[in-house]
Amino acid sequence: MYLYHNIENDLVIDVNQIYHRQYVMQQMKQRFASFGYREIHTSAFEPYDLYVQMNGTVNHNEMMKTIDNTGEVLVLRPDITIPLTQQIATNNKEIVEDLRYFYVLDVFRQAQESKDNRQRTQAGVEYFGNATPEADSEIIALSIELLQDIHFDHVKIELGHAGFFAQLIEQMNLNKHDLNELKQYIQAKNITEIEQLMKRINVAEDLKEIVISLPFLYGDPMKVIQQAKKLPLQKNMLKTLDNMTDIYNNLEANEMAQHIVIDLSLINHMDYYSDMIFQGFIENIGKPIIMGGRYNTLAKQFGAEIPAIGFACDLDVLAESREQSVVSEVPDIDVKLLYDPSLKAEVLQLAKQLRNQKLQVISYSKNSLKEQMPKTTYTVMMEESQLTLTTGTGVKEVFSTTEALKTFLKKERE
């Protein structure tokens, strides 16, 4: 987490960076709660075997391992969806009512080629028990509103479907090498390599036509869906397109349509996604800022039948992006109280009362004043007969009682 950096062994604190991080975290928690989500935690240490048995999820080589005093191999939490789903599935073989949870937790991974980014803070939601298009569209709407709360106005959501590609390759019977190549070329929208691969392998011509069309199935949702329906699709793939249409119609009803494009070539590296998948982008960031989707079959690996959907984002990346794009500094402290030492008791009582009004207050005796003072919105000088308030722009107000001062500050905050 990029809260501090070290220069010549002196710890330097970037207060502005910390402020943006705290702001993003606060806005996220408020938005999650507004949709009915409750905060949940998972252990920082998880059994290594939990991830070993699940291929196509977290890269095992990126996990940070340790051994406890019983000899069991543990990993520092590399993912949150998997252990959280295990918790829910262990306690509920099936659920009657919806369960909505959010989290703001650290995850630990280390790419083989890098020593950085071992610890990042991830925020996200998991919604269990509702497998409807309405739930899918609500999750996407939540992700959009979340980014807007942090003042990212140009939000774009790419909407895809894991089932569409899964249904396609199920008919193709590809070996592992060809499948990995195909995924790589589709993700890169490398049309030339896709065409060459299709010529090289033994696949029915109608399937080749669909595969070669995938990179072009991107853009305006209804146009893409109509274009896709002209292809020689099987019934299950057409049903998938109908599901995407339902999701989009719900987003349109929620006045979110302008943020949505459909990408039928979208492939997520987490194999547990079964249905709708999506990724969110903001201006000037060339990689997804939010990723999520529906994973109705994940709980089956823990012996339960529980549909689920969720998304996650890197809180640190969002905070860094906001710091770069939003022209703002750390807000001033509200009130600075200056006083004669003989009035210490009075000023301490006043400071307490102002803090109870949710104001930020610092106080200094005139005898302890320094050249460099914290920046504040108001400076109040307490003298025997009056209180003199000075604004940051130099405007002065004089009050004869503390009650008059408190009333003034309360109105200023309203």
Residue pLDDT, tens place only, 283-330: 888 889 999 999 999 999 899 999 999 999 999 889 888 877 665 556
Minimum mean pLDDT range among 7-11, 114-118, 401-405: 7-11
Q: What is the mean pLDDT of residues 171-176?
A: 90
Q: Alpha-carbon distance 345 to 347, whole Å? A: 6
Q: Please report, in angstroms and rounded to a whole number, the separation of the first and last CA atoms in the chain.
A: 35
Q: Alpha carbon 363 to chain centroid distance? A: 38
Alpha helices in 215-261 (DSSP H): 221-229, 235-253
Minimum mean pLDDT range among 226-240, 256-270, 290-304, 382-396: 382-396
User: Is the model's pLDDT at 246 over the cut of 70?
Assistant: yes
Q: Alpha-carbon distance 290 to 357, whole Å? A: 37
* pLDDT score recorded for residue 115: 62
Between 348 and 58, whose confidence is greater? 348
Tens of pLDDT, residue by residue over 199-219, are 999 889 999 999 999 999 999
Domains (range + CATH), the chain? 4-325 (3.30.930.10), 333-413 (3.40.50.800)
Mean pLDDT of the chain: 88
Rounded to two decimals, what is the model's pTM? 0.81
C-alpha closest to that of 380 among 349, 351, 414: 351
Q: Alpha carbon 247 to chain centroid distance? A: 21
**Residues 6+ away with beta carbon under 8 Å from 176:** none
Residue 395 — very low, low, confident or very high, per pLDDT cuts 50/70/90?
Answer: confident
Residue 370 — very low, low, confident or very high, per pLDDT cuts 50/70/90?
Answer: low
User: Is the model's pLDDT at 270 over the cut of 70?
Assistant: yes
Evaluate whether 377 touches 335 at the Cβ level (below 8 Å): yes
Between 142 and 270, whose confidence is greater? 142
Residue 367 — very low, low, confident or very high, per pLDDT cuts 50/70/90?
Answer: confident
